[in-house]
Amino acid sequence: MSHRWLIGVDIGGTNLVVAAVPYTGGEPAAVRSRPTSPGRGADAAVADIAEMAEEVVAETVERHGARREDFRGVGIGCPGPLDRRKGVIGTSPNLQWDGYPIRDRISAAVGLPASLDNDANCATYGEWWQGAGRGTASLVGVTLGTGIGGGYIEAGRLLRGTSGSGCEIGHMTIDFDGRMCGCGNRGCLEAYASGPAIAARAREGLEAGRTSVMPEMVGGDLSLVTAATVYEAIQAGDAYASEVLTESARILAVGLANVINVFNPEMIVIVGGVTRAGRYLFAPLREEVGRRAFGSAVEACTIVPGALPATAGVIGAAGVFVMERHR
Amino acid sequence: MSHRWLIGVDIGGTNLVVAAVPYTGGEPAAVRSRPTSPGRGADAAVADIAEMAEEVVAETVERHGARREDFRGVGIGCPGPLDRRKGVIGTSPNLQWDGYPIRDRISAAVGLPASLDNDANCATYGEWWQGAGRGTASLVGVTLGTGIGGGYIEAGRLLRGTSGSGCEIGHMTIDFDGRMCGCGNRGCLEAYASGPAIAARAREGLEAGRTSVMPEMVGGDLSLVTAATVYEAIQAGDAYASEVLTESARILAVGLANVINVFNPEMIVIVGGVTRAGRYLFAPLREEVGRRAFGSAVEACTIVPGALPATAGVIGAAGVFVMERHR
């Protein structure tokens, strides 16, 4: 018996990931990844994606006995906002391919029908379909990285606003006279709790002379401090790094408390490298969420790290294709 | 031909409203209203509601040729948070009937099956079913009064979180180190833009000696200044009152920009007495929303006042009963 397959595409600010995903869910059979080079332009990225798609199809045919015609579609995840109906990229602070018809270009290059959704919706759907959120009736996914995104699933369906830019959790204002955000607004959650915001907070203290192993870790060049440096320093027992992460967790908690008061979800899944910080992140996060959101809604909500750190986005992009076909 | 009817019940902090509502929607045939006296306790409110229900049923039988058995259920709207599954009132800053099984008590007193939802969901549903939001695919209702509530409807269904406290828009943090809110959190939208918050802002300026007709309007007793005083002063051409409302509108806009970034709705309907301020509210509101939320989502969203100022809650409560039966 021959199974049906999908191609999942995850377009990130750092990497392009392409995978062969079983139509009914499960582990990808073949995965390829290349660096994203936004400066080369979107056409070059589409060409890269088409090459990687050809590779994962060939590998699945060779190793899993699939036939080429068993591949039924391409699910694409891409940083938002998007015009999902038209399949076009909107004005984005993180990926500057404004107005590019990404869905139809990939569909044409690969020769299969395609779906498009934003990266955070895809990661959320991946965690709901195959990861930490399996079986939940209502789930919010929060993606923490260069930006902060989100997705909401109720009764197996992603929340869809009217023009495809729903659940932009990172651009909730949590401090109306606060820091400027890349989106042009003031006081967005993303301006405080994204990876770059965590790194910036760490650097501020280091520049002010706080004692830490971090300067040594980056050879004295503080511009090299990233959120990952902070997590690694915590593992090494660095007190200042813990303090930075605790503060970031408290601010992230303001955003999650808003999410809980607005969506009242059964689960929040946090996706991204930051979850490697484990209890250093989750303990202060849960504490502050409990202080801020409605008690009954906090009790009803589990906050967990994602179960598919590397593949939620690409699996979910494929899953969204299936969801769209069976709506 | 005999039509089916419902009893709608709207439990507000100020008034209890009971109405006979056609099962298929439309204007209430009979409406009764009495002041809410939270201090008298919830049992007394249920007794009042049962008496008013008897009156609206009798009036509908007498004037519209209905039969008593044409009344099929009671839809109840009540300030949240609620445990909707159990039909029980949760811990609320505005109505102190914690743990009271309001749904089943009203159902027993009236002798009909009952549904329960929070007042903001009901007002939102009323505006979607019979008011300003008819025909919209996605709608957020925002109720502005003593508190600030909200509801979200997509594809004809209210967003339902896991424990019935979704869409608590008034308790989104918009200023994480900001003013204390009645809910125990800091910096909630409600602490800045509710009716009492608008009145408090007006009083602060008046106490500091700002020139205004408001002191004269309240006979010199500034404790009598309410949001309604502010709107009336604006009608009288009072510059300071306009300034207060513009500032409140700008802060409300922070909340609505969050709503737009999170839900990306086709329409936001604002419900409550504050809409009487008309363009004094909506012009600065729209301007600031445009500055803060994603452009494509702002363009896709119409912000309008509700069309059913007196009856959205009670019509919507009845409508929710119908929605629940036909889900």
Question: Who contacts A240 (Cβ-Cβ below 8 Å, separation ≥6)?
Answer: A202, A205, A206, A210, A211, A212, A214, A233
Residue A64 has pLDDT above 50, yes or no: yes
Q: Are B112 and B105 in contact (CB under 8 A)?
A: no
Residue B274 has pLDDT above 90, yes or no: no
The CATH H-level (homologous superfamily) assignment of domain A135-305 is ATPase, nucleotide binding domain (3.30.420.40)
Q: Strand A30-35 vs strand A71-78: parallel, antiparallel, or unpaired? A: unpaired
Question: DSSP label at A223?
Answer: G
Tens digits of residue pLDDT in A89-100? 987 666 778 899
**Quick one: pLDDT at residue B1?**
46
Give the domain ranges of chain A: 5-129+310-325, 135-305
Assess whether the region A5-129+310-325 and the region A135-305 belong to the same CATH fold. yes
Q: Do B163 and A265 make contact, defined as CB atoms within 8 angstroms? A: no
Tens digits of residue pLDDT in B39-68? 888 999 999 999 999 999 999 999 999 999
Angle of helix B279-292 relative to helix B239-263, nearest 10 degrees, comes to 40
Indicate the residue type of B205. Answer: G
- Chain B, residues 137-156, CB within 8 A of chain A, namely 137-138, 150, 154
Q: Do B262 and A294 make contact, defined as CB atoms within 8 angstroms? A: no
Cα angle vertex B182, ends B176, B187, to 5°? Answer: 15
**Residue among B160, B258, B296 whose CB faces A173 most closely:** B258
Average pLDDT over residues B133-141: 96
Mean pLDDT taken over chain B: 93
**Quick one: pLDDT at residue A79?**
86
Q: How far apart are CA B296 and CA B301, in angstroms?
A: 9
**Quick one: pLDDT at residue A1?**
46
Residue given tokens 């909630």 in the structure block? B188
Q: Do B164 and A264 make contact, defined as CB atoms within 8 angstroms? A: yes
Is CATH 3.30.420.40 correct for B5-129+310-325? yes
Is the pTM above the cut of 0.80? yes
Is A171 part of the contact surface with chain B (CB cutoff 8 Å)? yes
Confidence tier at B80 by pLDDT (50, 70, 90): confident
Tens digits of residue pLDDT in A41-59? 899 999 999 999 999 999 9
